[in-house]
Amino acid sequence: MCADHDTLENLLAGNERHVESLPEDYFADVQDGQHPDVVAICCSDSRVPQERMWGVDAPGTVFTPSNIGNQVWDDDEGDRIVDGGVLYPIHHADTEAVAVVGHTGCGAVTAAYQLATGGDQPGPRGVDKWVELLVPVVEEALESDLIDADADDETVINQLVEYNVDAQARFLRESDDVPEDVAVYGFVYDFQGVYGNEHGRTYLVNVDGETRPDEIADLLPDEYETTTDSLLY
């Protein structure tokens, strides 16, 4: 084992601060089960704070599966199925909303774009699997009229991020495993100022299949009108 355990000590110290900060009754309402309001499938990028982005302080509010590329599916002997991390709270914890959360500058989308355009797999195999699952989405996007294929790579990749969020949301809405009354939302978490100058804003790009910003804005209170935007429409 490594003799230097600075990271381990930082984790233990951080948990100590966490424990000391909690009110005595912090877990009182979730001792016997959980009923999260939403399952938010996020990219596992360390720059994407899964609960903090929603201002969540209470436990049991957000169910937070994640993987590279915020993918809602998995491969089961050649078939794409909805990932169990998304389905569990819907079927077993009364969750009635899903948020698919991509983010600007996504490395998984970048790797899939490079692979789709003749580049090499990033490796190792455990990473390649998830990148390969994104390649058909990227190929479909590049063949559509929504991506500016002549733009610089940064622009193309951020457009692909949003396209991927829409593709993941569509897969959920079309799956027989997701009840029709479950709401599906798509967001892009922007910490790079791509959509605007508010770093850390989750831009709402999809509401139950609606992707046009003006139409989404009409569904929201006026105070949230600027939180919907799109690089595609």
**Domain-embedded: residue 10:** no
**Domain-embedded: residue 6:** no
The pLDDT tens digits of the residues spanning 56-74 come to: 999 999 999 999 999 999 9
**Domain-embedded: residue 201:** yes
Residue 192 has pLDDT above 70, yes or no: yes
Average pLDDT of the residues in 80-92:
98
> Which pTM does this prediction carry?
0.96
Residue 85 has pLDDT above 90, yes or no: yes
Q: What is the spatial distance between Cα 156 and Cα 58, in angstroms, rounded to a whole number?
A: 37
5 is in an annotated binding site: no
pLDDT of residue 122: 97
**Domain-embedded: residue 96:** yes
**Domain-embedded: residue 143:** yes
**Domain-embedded: residue 213:** yes
Average pLDDT of the residues in 127-135:
98
Residue 95 has pLDDT above 90, yes or no: yes
**Domain-embedded: residue 3:** no
pLDDT of residue 4: 86
Domain span at 43: 35-227
Calculate the average pLDDT of the chain. 97
Residue 3 has pLDDT above 80, yes or no: no
CATH number of the CATH domain containing 179? 3.40.1050.10
Binning pLDDT at 50, 70 and 90, where does residue 2 land?
low
Residue 126 has pLDDT above 80, yes or no: yes
CB–CB of 57/35 below 8 Å? no
**Domain-embedded: residue 28:** no
pLDDT of residue 1: 55
The pLDDT tens digits of the residues spanning 134-186 come to: 999 999 999 999 999 899 999 999 999 999 999 999 999 999 999 999 999 99
43 is in an annotated binding site: yes
pLDDT of residue 221: 97
Q: What total of structural domains would you count in the chain?
A: 1
- Three-state secondary structure along the chain? CCCCCHHHHHHHHHHHHHHHHCCCCCCHHHCCCCCCCEEEEEECCCCCCCCHHHCCCCCCCEECCEECCCCCEEEECCEEEECHHHHHHHHHCCCCEEEEEEECCCHHHHHHHHHHCCCCCCCCHHHHHHHHHHHHHHHHHHHCCCCCCCCCHHHHHHHHHHHHHHHHHHHHHHCCCCCCCCEEEEEEEECCCCCCCCCCEEEEEEECCECCHHHHHHCCCHHHHHHECCCCC
